[in-house]
Amino acid sequence: MAKKNADAPDLDQKAFVEATSEAKSRYGRFNLAIVGSSGVGKSSLVNAVFGRDWAKVGRGLPVTRGVQFYSDDSLGIWDVEGFEIGSPVPPAQQLRDHLNAIAAHSGDHQISVVWYCVQANDDRLTPADIAMIRELDARGLPVILVLTKVDWIKNPLTGHQGVAKDVQAFVDWLNDPVDAATGERLRVPYRRVILTSTRDRHGKGKGHGLGDLVTETLALAPERDKDAFRIAQRLNLPWKREMARPIIATAAAAAAGAATVPLPVSDAFTLAPIQLTMMGRIAAIYDLEVKTMLSAGALAQFGVQVAGRALATSFLKLIPGAGVVVNAAVAGALTAATGESWMKICELLHTGKIDVRKLDQEWAKYAPSFMDVARKLVERRVGRR
């Protein structure tokens, strides 16, 4: 474990913890309903998009029965079984009963978007499927029809991915459903059909169609739930960066404001609450567990270096005539560089490229350098022209 800076005071982690908690509360939770028969691949889909292993993948026997709710801070999953053949209750009524049970829960449990899952090789929607999709639409719930377990075929000449003719015929029918018996168009009110697989045909890789599914889900989500979905999903990292950068800019401005009257280097640690608040809010965007991070000791080590006087001292020593004070420009640049470095670390943790248990050994590779701070200082000066 890296040694603590003996000259720096103990780091108060309260600002980080409170900022993370406040951010998670403000962003709320995105609640997704996944409807489909057992074995259709719902749990695999959840794992692929959200990286949640609490939705266990099952083989042979159903994993869920009826309705179950899985949740954490940023994501709630209503796992709803499809219509059971032989049930005396009509499919629309069966689903209506499930939706009534869900509606009885508090507001933070209510459904934002529905993935209605059908296995691609089923080749058809049953009357029960159509009745249930209509019931979901009648409740005002946007439905994405998700074809699962699609076998993608790579064209040897073009390299493009395609599907078998029978699957394509099914997709064509879904885009313009017609009753085969009467020739009349059917009203099946899903918003879009998306073909997906969570693995390639050899059982490897990251699958196909998941990016389209994530994009469409965000588009259909109520405005109040969009940020919660951006946080919960694991596939689109640019969305998280877009959320984090305004937080960095706000913190940099606050740090500059705090140093309007230049701070002695010995007092540079007073910028820590601003920077730790920024770091806590960014951690929430990357859906990181605060307690796990704190137990690794990484937060304290990182904070002492980037928010304490160690970096300020090393920075000022390299600037001829800078003196022994941190002015507004330097404070803003230090904070901006800190935010960018912390965002990078959070992204690596989020994607599993850094083991949180080894973070206290890894953080030094990503802590902001003199050049990072100098670059931010130039950027801020140019931006003001």
Pairwise pLDDT comparison (293 vs 230), residue with the higher score = 230
For position 56, what pLDDT does the model report?
Answer: 52
Sort 348 into a burial class: Cβ within 10 Å, 0-12 / 13-18 / 19+. Answer: middle
Q: What six digits make up the tokens of 311?
A: 């970096």
Q: What six digits make up the tokens of 190?
A: 């899903």
User: Which residues fall within 8 angstroms of residue 341, CB to CB, at 6 or more apart?
Assistant: 306, 366, 367, 368, 372
Residue reference for tokens 């050049």: 371
The Cα 202–Cα 204 span in angstroms is 6
Q: Domain spanning 27-232: which superfamily?
A: P-loop containing nucleotide triphosphate hydrolases (3.40.50.300)
Tell me the per-residue pLDDT of 282-300, one tens digit each, with 9 for 90 and over: 999 999 876 666 655 555 5
The Cα 249–Cα 239 span in angstroms is 16
Pairwise pLDDT comparison (360 vs 114), residue with the higher score = 114
Residue 263: phi and psi, rounded to 5, are: -90, 135
Residue 142: phi and psi, rounded to 5, are: -70, 130
185 forms beta bridges with 178
Q: What six digits make up the tokens of 3?
A: 């040694």
Query: Taking the domains of the chain in order of start, what are their residue ranges?
Result: 27-232, 236-383
Tell me the per-residue pLDDT of 63-102, one tens digit each, with 9 for 90 and over: 445 788 888 889 999 999 877 766 788 888 889 988 998 9
Amino acid at 106: S
* pLDDT grade for 59, boundaries at 50, 70 and 90: very low
Q: 10 Å Cβ neighbour count for 328?
A: 18
Q: What six digits make up the tokens of 347?
A: 């992204």
pLDDT of 270 > 60? The answer is: yes
Q: What six digits make up the tokens of 197?
A: 């697989």
1-28 average pLDDT score: 69
> Do 334 and 254 form a contact (C-beta atoms < 8 A)?
no
pTM, two decimal places: 0.84
- What SS3 class is residue 54? coil
CA-angle at 334, arms to 330 and 339, nearest 5°: 150
The Cα 107–Cα 29 span in angstroms is 10
Answer positive or negative: Cα dihedral of 145, 68, 225, 139: positive
The helix or strand, by DSSP H or E, that contains position 20, with its residue range, turns out to be helix 14-27
Answer positive or negative: Cα dihedral of 185, 191, 194, 198: negative
Q: What HEC string does 305-357 produce?
A: HHHCHHHHHHHHHCCCCCCCEECHHHHHHHHHHHHHHHHHHHHHHHCCCCCHH
Comparing C-alpha atoms, which of 77, 79, 73 is closest to residue 32?
77
Could you say which DSSP state residue 121 is in? G
CA distances from 322 to 178, 316, 327, 363, 369 (A): 76, 6, 9, 28, 18
35 forms beta bridges with 80, 116
> Do 145 and 170 form a contact (C-beta atoms < 8 A)?
no
Tell me the per-residue pLDDT of 309-335, one tens digit each, with 9 for 90 and over: 445 555 555 454 445 567 788 788 888
> Do 121 and 167 form a contact (C-beta atoms < 8 A)?
yes
For position 321, what pLDDT does the model report?
Answer: 46
CA-angle at 334, arms to 369 and 324, nearest 5°: 95
pLDDT of 377 > 70? The answer is: no
